[in-house]
Amino acid sequence: MKANNLAFLYLLFVLGMARSQPAGVVAADASREAVEDLKATTKAGNPYEAENCFNRGVAKDHKGDWDGAIADYTKAIDLKPDFADAYFNRGSVRIYRENLNGAIADYTKAIELKPDFADAYFNRGSAKIYREDLDGAIEDYTHAIELKPVFADAYQNRGLARENKRDWDGAIADYTKVIELKPNDSVAYNNRGNAKKNKGDWDGAIVDYTKAMELKPDDSEVYNNRGLAKRNQHDWDGAIADYTKAIGLKPGFTEAYYNRGNAKKDKGDLDGAITDYNRAIDLKPDYAFAYNNRGIARNQKGDLAEAIADYNKAIDLKTDLASAYHNRGLAKNREGDLDGAIADYTKAIGLKPDFAEAHHDRGIARENKGDWDGAIADASKAIDLRPDFAEAYSNRGLARANRGDLAGGIADCTKATNLKPDFAEAYNNRSIAKKAQGDWDGAIADCTKAIGLKADFAEAYNNRGIVKAQKNDLAGAIADCTKAIDLKPDDAEAYNNRGIARAQKGDLAGAIADCTKAISLKPNFAEAYFNRSIAKDQSNDPAGGRADKAKATELLLAEKQLKNRAIDLKSDEAETYRNSGDTNKDTKDTLPKSSRRE
């Protein structure tokens, strides 16, 4: 039987389908001898008598001979058209034969013949769940409860239907009623824990899961579920312990390996996470989500080629997996393939139009391409979808500042810090807009705030150094750029900016050395060539200065940016490039929450 939500299957198999068992019918736990006796009795009597056909159908039903059972129940109905129990049992067998329409028709007929048939309402509700008719299922379970107020299984299944409609409170109320009727029902505690978890009541969920464990210590599913709740509380060690226990109870528990991999990834144990994802894939080779999340772990390790291979496999297995396209876009963005990243983000959005993170990240890629309008549009859409999306406000602010809307940029970054007061990147981005406004003190204050929130924030040190240089605090500028280099030794912009400050202090040799280092890290760094040319001019190396200026011009022309840059080769007008090293970084994690799946 197929269903979109495995919880449906789990609960229905636990409860089983109700069966009508009138006098003379073999019970579910009848002995083999009793079944043989029934066969003998049937043969000895009238083989076409409705009750005998019905009983023979029950025997075949218990043996798993579904087609034979249906034939006998049908014969009983032919002989006795008002035989409600025969319709009922034939409907139950049709459930197992995946004939949902036939099953519902049989239960409906049974109810017409016997309006107080609570079990028929119950089973019809279960069939409707399989058809994803949740409202119809709830209505039938409610009828069953009205007819039989102590019908614990009807409360249980109604709770499940309500949970799948995201009616957490209704589901919790139903599971609570089950517990009142059956205090030792571990399934009800587990299900109520699920509803509480979905509602965000992690503590309440853990209490329920723990009680379910006390009642049924060998239930691997409950340990797995409690692990999910602990992970949401960022109790990585507790979650890992629960998943490990689940695996110990059920060594082939694919989802527990997958979930333990997620917890290890969150904890920073990327190698351990990859090992668990590998095991999940070994157990279930078509497990698209495990490939997707292994790709995330590999992306975090910097193994971009392997990450992209995993995302490709996830997409091959599940072509509508929006998160895999999104995550592949993130990896391509890190590789510098901005067009490829944009294409993947666009595909993710096409599959999931309300995917706020994909809109946001496409905006970052567009911003990195200099498409400010596209970046602003994407960030605005992300904000429409998620009004509390601080990162989207921050990056829209940066795009607005780059487009020349400094007031709008500052307003967006301020909104980001209001939503997320410890958002270091938003303070750094606001400093860039304030610097462009000429608010040196405000820019320095924002950089200082960013550094206070994130002590290893190299970009904030670099940006503060730029502003200090413009305030003629050259020693402070050099100190900040040096700190940025210590934190990020491959930061070409920091070397370039320190070179500018050293040149302004008269340390031309130090300036040339810094610009040379910047060029070695970033060979096409036109600004570093230009700034080195100024230092060489002032060091009586006019030939070297001319060569560097020519190279800077060549690079700028190749980038088709010369027309947008006012290059003046006079050393006293070099300020245009001297302060070009602002670090406009995106301000989001490379691994968004929407790529995770549990």
Whole-number pLDDT of residue 559: 73
**Which three-class secondary structure state does DSSP give residue 27?**
coil
Is residue 268, in this structure, part of any structural domain at all?
A: no
What's the CA gap between 277 and 289, in Å, rounded?
A: 9
Whole-number pLDDT of residue 46: 52
Whole-number pLDDT of residue 560: 57
Cα–Cα separations (whole angstroms), residue 214 to 189, 207, 253: 10, 11, 21
Number of domain units in the chain: 1
Is residue 525, in this structure, part of any structural domain at all?
A: yes
What's the CA gap between 31 and 158, in Å, rounded?
A: 34
Is residue 516, in this structure, part of any structural domain at all?
A: yes
Residue-wise pLDDT tens digits, 234-257: 999 999 999 999 999 999 999 999
Q: Are 359 and 344 in contact (CB under 8 A)?
A: no
Q: Write out the residue range of the structural domain in which residue 553 sits.
A: 457-591
Residue-wise pLDDT tens digits, 69-87: 999 999 999 999 999 999 9
Is residue 69, in this structure, part of any structural domain at all?
A: no
How is 43-87 classified by DSSP, letter by letter? HHS-TT-HHHHHHHHHHHHHHT-HHHHHHHHHHHHHH-TT-HHHH
Residue-wise pLDDT tens digits, 40-50: 434 334 545 99
CATH of the domain at 474: 1.25.40.10
Which of 528, 526, 509, 506 is CA-nearest to residue 517? 528
Is residue 261, in this structure, part of any structural domain at all?
A: no
Whole-number pLDDT of residue 558: 81
What's the CA gap between 401 and 405, in Å, rounded?
A: 5
Positions in the chain whose pLDDT score sits under 70: 1-48, 560-598
Is residue 476, in this structure, part of any structural domain at all?
A: yes
Whole-number pLDDT of residue 31: 30
Residue-wise pLDDT tens digits, 280-321: 999 999 999 999 999 999 999 999 999 999 999 999 999 999
In terms of phi and psi (left: phi > 0; alpha: psi -120 to 50; beta: otherwise), the region of 268 is left
Is residue 571, in this structure, part of any structural domain at all?
A: yes
Is residue 374, in this structure, part of any structural domain at all?
A: no
Whole-number pLDDT of residue 556: 87
How is 161-193 classified by DSSP, letter by letter? HHHHTT-HHHHHHHHHHHHHH-TT-HHHHHHHH
Tokens 């067009």, located at residue:
339
How is 233-286 classified by DSSP, letter by letter? TT-HHHHHHHHHHHHHHSTT-HHHHHHHHHHHHHHT-HHHHHHHHHHHHHH-TT
